[in-house]
Structure 1
Amino acid sequence: MGRKYRNPLQNPAHYATPQLKTGPPVTYASAQRTLQNYDYVIVGAGAAGCVLASKLSEDKNTSVLLLEAGGDHRNVLESQIPLMFTKMYHTEHDWDYNTVEQPALSSRKLFWPRGRILGGSTSLNAMMYHHCSKSDFEEWKNVHGCEGWGYDDLAPYLRRMEKFTPNTSRPAIETSNRGTTGQWLTGYSWLSEITEEGFLPACHDAGIPPNADINTKDGSMGVTRFQTFIDQKGQRSSMATAFLPSDVLNRPNLYVGIHAQVTRILFDTLTTKSPTTIGVEFKTSRDGEAFQVHARREVILSGGAVNTPQLLLLSGIGPREELESLGVPVVQDNRAVGKNMKDHLCPTPVIVKADPAKTLDYLGNTAKAIPALLRWKLLGSGPLTSNAGEAAAFIRSTDYSFPAAESTPEDTTSGPASPDLEIIGVPLAFIHHAEEPVPDGSSVFSIAACHLRPLSHGTISLKSRDAFEHPIIDPRYLSDPDDNDRKVLLAGLRVCLRIMRSPAFKKFLQPVPENDDPSSYWWPYSSSNIEKISDDDLIRFMKEKAFTLYHPVGSARMGPNPGNSVVDLQCKVHGVKGLRVMDASIFPEQISGHPTAPIGALAYKLSEMIKEGRSGDTPLSAHL
């Protein structure tokens, strides 16, 4: 079959056959036997797709085709250098999505970066390694009926994926809680002095206890130095570098097609009782020729919380009225496709004007960044190996009270030891994804609150039948009827203000006048007495500055009931044969942290479920 990593644009026939001319439907279904075929066709090489392709192709007798709309990650310097990840935004490596206008946020459209590259968003975004709370996954099992996907079911895979390297300069953690033999390289990366000696003690001053290791069954509560997926050479360890290294790519039964955007799933709807998945169609450009591939056993969608529901809808799986309004033939009516999506919203970073020598803002100057770049290239160390989000505190909004607060939030966490807020410490200006500079050009430290357990939920829907046109993304931020999401975010902002005013930060700030002049801090905090700032003042600023931490989930969620879910407990699409989904879209509920590690564990577990059930499978080709 030739070499892997060949661009389909150069040789489409390497992976597929040209689109067959359609005649009578039965003839068309029968003709699928002539398509280029593989046991499994995986759509999307993000966190889940990379793991699935790697694990399923371990069986030499199983052929796997992995299709990715983006390109190769291996020579993208901005992906390799941890702190340069935002340089990939709005490039060919980014889907460059935007939401529709959000009424609760001054009718702004919010930017959603999503990886369009091998490794997906694990090759594009920050590198937080986080298991989240045990109760998050117990909620999946006990509340949403997803038996087999609780914490005890997933924890072994979190360990098996990981190869953790201890750092002698960091507090010792119990290594029995860390995996040491996996492919995914984790550990502690660069920690700036202002984070180590400013932010962490300031969190202690605000009453937040330390937590040396947030990735255990005991959960995330407390303040911690973040573990990352940055390797010992100071480079990003994405799911692509971890699960698709050269020895895996050289397997004769694994084929990877890049620059191949899947435009629809192919079904036989006439010769079988239920719609049966035949394969997929893809193009290398909007105006290019369509090509098709055949899946003998299954097609697995791993496009993520935006692309997966879009592809299901384009292929005729979704709410009947929505599909019919666009003229899409209905293959399977499912009202949950594209619904129930939840994201993590940050109200705005609290910006502290800091000593320029203590932050990393100077790296935005090319001349000043050269020594750091040389250090990275020669030694694999230095400030460019920072994860930006170097430390974080996980707290519960209901544990705090504020004199000026007009209302208090209700508990929406998954359990008594689970957080609903994450307070992230960043030793540089991170306003609107680091795209908006601080007004006066100061060097700053950013403290951002992230709402982990929102009640508001939104949708992914089609704008047109054109697969190359972005879908309509409407997260409906702050739309919950009881306004609890806003109350949680206000509590998060007030905790950020307390941290900001901690004595631990004093020595890192620009010289402060004796009267503690509030001009030493960035607007909107015009009062030196932060406890007197009104909710209205905070809400006004939140509307103008809130941004997403881009963790959308749930748009094709898992569940036992076809009436309110898209896939069953084996991740099979309800009512359709030979089609599974594995990515963040299947999350039954939003989790209280960063989703990359859980996605990988889910995919790892599904790969074993597929292998275990393979002996009793009937190839899809037998239905033709």
Structure 2
Amino acid sequence: MTDKEFDYIVVGAGSAGCVLAARLSEDPATRVLLLEAGPPDNSPWIHLPIGYGKTMWSPVYNWRFETDPDPGMNGRRIYWPRGKTLGGSSSINGLIYIRGQREDYDHWAELGNTGWGYDDVLPWFIKSEGNQRVGDMPLHGQDGPLKVSDIGAKHELIEAFISGAEQIGVPRTDDFNGARQEGAGYYQLNTFNGLRCSTAKAYLAPAKRRPNLRIETEAFAAGVVIEGRRAVGVRYRQGGEMKTARCTAEVLLSAGAIQSPQLLQLSGIGPRALLDQLGVPVVHDARGVGENLQDHLQIRLGYECTKPITTNDQLNSWIGQARLGIEWLSHRTGALAIGINQGGCFMRALKDANGKPEAATPDIQFHVATLSADMAGGKVHPYSGFTMSVCQLRPESRGHVRARSRDPFEAPEMQPNYLSKELDRRTAVAGVRAARAIAHSPAMRPYVKREVKPGPDAATDEELLEFCRNNGATIFHPSGTCKMGNDTLAVVDARLRVHGIGGLRVVDCSVMPTLVSGNTNGPVVMMAEKAVDMIRQDAKDPIRFP
């Protein structure tokens, strides 16, 4: 295929882009170009789950973004890792498979996004999922490309955490993606046979040899080519040369919540005031492009364990490392096959004056790791340690992403405005107190030698909030910057088409009007699966779907 022979151009081979390219190219008459700014996913650290610690800081496979100084974080810049390879962030994330709550999607529908209620999207969750569990599971899929696996052996520390959560009133669960999210238990992971199952592995690998699919890596998109009011191609840099690819049907932006809005802005689609400031000719004045930024702020509590049963102990010993390797090679199990977080909890932490939960559904999520380090992906501590991380599920704080200049290769301004709303500040403190309550439970107390962070000096709400400001970090879920809807800040409609421009859609986390209550990779795969069906419908009925 030549550069002018495409029907669809997909920008970004990440969690959504791999799904789009693979599914659209199932039709041999449909010609698809997939552009990825990073290299192929060849590193063994991508495919080995514990390699998360390596790719977290990789200059090759990670964009390694930083936010602007955030007032809510006492002026700190927050490190934002994002995947830069085939599979995108699904190739470097923590592997946890969570859909969110029914109410998340019903709220999207209530906002005017027809077809995005929970009952509407459930078929695409099921279609995408290949769950290892057998038996009657009406809410799950077993034949889908995205593999979902149980964590094999139970861990003494995670069992204590689950029991501790039960002792403070949170029930045990074996399925966070079932009829009810609330509970404590083990996560299911996007792994298969001890290896990571990214969307590059699940979707793109089986499609790579199709003659109607062209995959270009190290192809950095610089802007959308727009003629009149229609997208007709993409400009990109590859091998030091600027190139242009054209398409006859649609351009599909899947560059993520940071770069999709930046690409739109530099293509003349965005707030007029910003475009005028940048010197970019206005194609379409769209106020909401880059606004509505949301993220889950993670607060990490660190503990020293009384027993040498943590992953720290294994990684800090040559014998322990050897045993980890042997276990993985022999059985494809153990810490190398799991990554970082094994257990978790969804609970209602924020209470009113009478001690009753303020939220009808869980408002915080725990990620429990049998290791400890100064930061996610950092070198583990020399002592036996574990981590309980908490995040607010539905933050009210809103930030923005804005291009700094007309240079597409300069990272945009990223301002999350963490903890700028009172509810978020109260929930952060309540989350820390909930973690402490579990740590102090009869089941967990025998395993806690000391609380390293925040430590005994932080006791009042004010002191705990200051700890959150000084130590909070992303849990890697920036979303919302090209929101779906019909209000003045909406960028795309319910079929993910950019308002005011033909032949252009956005399909990634940026279109979420509000964050889902949990990890975002599974929902993005669902959204891409649904988007493919909408694209096919629209192509067959252009009068009904112009």
Match of 1:94 among 54, 62, 86: 62
Any idea what the Cα deviations from partners look like across 1:483-512, whole Å, max 9, x if unmatched?
A: 1110001000000001111221244345xx
Q: Which residue of 2 aligns with 1:225?
A: 186
CA distance in 2, matches of 1:259, 1:409: 53
Letter in 1 for 2:112: G
Q: Which residue of 2 aligns with 1:474?
A: 415
CA distance in 2, matches of 1:350, 1:174: 38
Shift of 1:197: 2.5
Q: Check conservation: 1:356, 1:362, Cα contact below 8 A.
A: no
Q: Which residue of 2 aligns with 1:317?
A: 269
Q: Which residue of 1 aligns with 2:485?
A: 559
Question: What does 1:411-422 correspond to in 2, within 5 Å?
Answer: 411=358, 416=360, 418-422=361-365
Shift of 1:37: 2.6
Match of 1:502 among 422, 432, 441: 441
Give the 3 Å change call, closer, same or farther, for CA 97–190 of structure 1 in structure 2. farther
Q: Which residue of 1 aligns with 2:501?
A: 576
Any idea what the Cα deviations from partners look like across 1:493-537, whole Å, max 9, x if unmatched?
A: 000001111221244345xxxxxxxxx33243327xx9xx21122
Q: Which residue of 1 aligns with 2:214?
A: 255
Which SS does the other structure have where 1:177 is aligned? Answer: coil
CA distance in 1, matches of 2:352, 2:308: 34
Deviating above 6 A after TM superposition, structure 1's stretches of 4 or more consecutive aligned residues are none
Q: Which residue of 1 aligns with 2:452?
A: 522
CA distance in 2, matches of 1:463, 1:410: 42
CA distance in 2, matches of 1:265, 1:236: 32
Letter in 2 for 1:442: Y
1:351 aligns with 2:302: yes
Q: Check conservation: 2:54, 2:377, Cα contact below 8 A.
A: no
Match of 2:147 among 152, 167, 185: 185
Letter in 1 for 2:94: A
Q: Check conservation: 1:409, 1:488, Cα contact below 8 A.
A: no
Note the aligned Cα RMSD (angstroms): 2.2
Give the 3 Å change call, closer, same or farther, for CA 201–350 of structure 1 in structure 2. same
Q: Which residue of 1 aligns with 2:121?
A: 154
Shift of 1:89: 2.1
Any idea what the Cα deviations from partners look like across 1:64-107, whole Å, max 9, x if unmatched?
A: 1111111111x311111112212112321001000011112121
Question: What does 1:345-424 correspond to in 2, within 5 Å?
Answer: 345-347=297-299, 349-355=300-306, 357-365=308-316, 367=318, 368-399=320-351, 411=358, 416=360, 418-424=361-367
Q: Which residue of 2 aligns with 1:513?
A: none
Letter in 1 for 2:477: H
Letter in 2 for 1:540: E
Question: What does 1:229-248 correspond to in 2, within 5 Å?
Answer: 229-231=190-192, 233-245=193-205, 247-248=206-207
Letter in 1 for 2:238: T
Contiguous gaps of at least 5 residues in structure 2 = none
The percent identity for this pair of structures is 33
Which SS does the other structure have where 2:40 is aligned? Answer: coil
Q: Check conservation: 2:295, 2:478, Cα contact below 8 A.
A: yes
Q: Check conservation: 2:298, 2:475, Cα contact below 8 A.
A: yes
CA distance in 1, matches of 2:379, 2:352: 31
1:550 aligns with 2:476: yes
Shift of 1:299: 0.3
1:81 aligns with 2:42: no
Q: Which residue of 2 aligns with 1:426?
A: 369
Q: Check conservation: 2:371, 2:380, Cα contact below 8 A.
A: no
Shift of 1:331: 0.9
Q: What is the TM-score of this pair, normalised by structure 2? A: 0.95
CA distance in 2, matches of 1:463, 1:366: 46
Q: Which residue of 2 aligns with 1:266?
A: 225
CA distance in 1, matches of 2:435, 2:443: 14
CA distance in 1, matches of 2:11, 2:437: 46
CA distance in 1, matches of 2:213, 2:317: 41
Give the 3 Å change call, closer, same or farther, for CA 476–581 of structure 1 in structure 2. same
Shift of 1:126: 0.4
Letter in 2 for 1:477: Y
Q: Check conservation: 1:195, 1:426, Cα contact below 8 A.
A: no
Which SS does the other structure have where 2:138 is aligned? Answer: helix
Q: Which residue of 2 aligns with 1:450?
A: 391
Any idea what the Cα deviations from partners look like across 1:520-574, whole Å, max 9, x if unmatched?
A: 33243327xx9xx21122122222211110101100000023x220001111111
Larger Rg: 1
Letter in 2 for 1:526: P
Letter in 2 for 1:184: L
Q: Check conservation: 2:312, 2:380, Cα contact below 8 A.
A: no
Point out the more displaced range, 40-49 or 350-359. 350-359
1:283 aligns with 2:260: no
Q: Check conservation: 2:183, 2:347, Cα contact below 8 A.
A: yes
Letter in 1 for 2:402: S
Letter in 1 for 2:441: S
Q: Check conservation: 2:439, 2:448, Cα contact below 8 A.
A: no
CA distance in 1, matches of 2:280, 2:93: 34
CA distance in 1, matches of 2:153, 2:519: 19
Letter in 1 for 2:372: A
Shift of 1:190: 4.5
CA distance in 2, matches of 1:409, 1:493: 17
CA distance in 2, matches of 1:409, 1:606: 40
CA distance in 2, matches of 1:431, 1:177: 38
Q: Check conservation: 2:289, 2:482, Cα contact below 8 A.
A: yes
1:333 aligns with 2:300: no
Higher strand share: 2
CA distance in 2, matches of 1:163, 1:241: 13
| Number of equivalences | 542
CA distance in 2, matches of 1:474, 1:454: 15
CA distance in 2, matches of 1:102, 1:152: 38
CA distance in 2, matches of 1:186, 1:164: 5
Which SS does the other structure have where 1:372 is aligned? Answer: helix
Letter in 2 for 1:501: H
Q: Check conservation: 2:370, 2:385, Cα contact below 8 A.
A: yes
CA distance in 1, matches of 2:48, 2:158: 22
Give the 3 Å change call, closer, same or farther, for CA 189–400 of structure 1 in structure 2. farther
Letter in 1 for 2:311: L
Letter in 1 for 2:61: H
Q: Check conservation: 2:72, 2:469, Cα contact below 8 A.
A: yes
Any idea what the Cα deviations from partners look like across 1:215-273, whole Å, max 9, x if unmatched?
A: 12x23111121111111x1001111111012x31111111111110100110112xxxx
CA distance in 2, matches of 1:47, 1:432: 24
Q: Which residue of 2 aligns with 1:296?
A: 248
CA distance in 1, matches of 2:404, 2:493: 27
Shift of 1:401: 7.0
Shift of 1:435: 2.4
CA distance in 2, matches of 1:308, 1:385: 32
Shift of 1:195: 3.5
Q: Which residue of 2 aligns with 1:622?
A: none
Give the 3 Å change call, closer, same or farther, for CA 501–191 of structure 1 in structure 2. farther
Q: Which residue of 2 aligns with 1:28?
A: none
CA distance in 1, matches of 2:304, 2:396: 34
Q: Check conservation: 1:220, 1:394, Cα contact below 8 A.
A: yes
CA distance in 2, matches of 1:592, 1:140: 13
1:208 aligns with 2:138: no
CA distance in 2, matches of 1:453, 1:191: 32
CA distance in 1, matches of 2:430, 2:352: 7
Contiguous gaps of at least 5 residues in structure 1 = 2-14, 17-35, 168-172, 270-274, 403-407, 511-519, 619-624
Letter in 1 for 2:393: L
Question: What does 1:475-490 correspond to in 2, within 5 Å?
Answer: 475-480=416-421, 483-490=422-429
CA distance in 1, matches of 2:149, 2:244: 42
Shift of 1:608: 0.8
Which SS does the other structure have where 1:125 is aligned? Answer: coil
Shift of 1:139: 0.2
Letter in 2 for 1:56: L
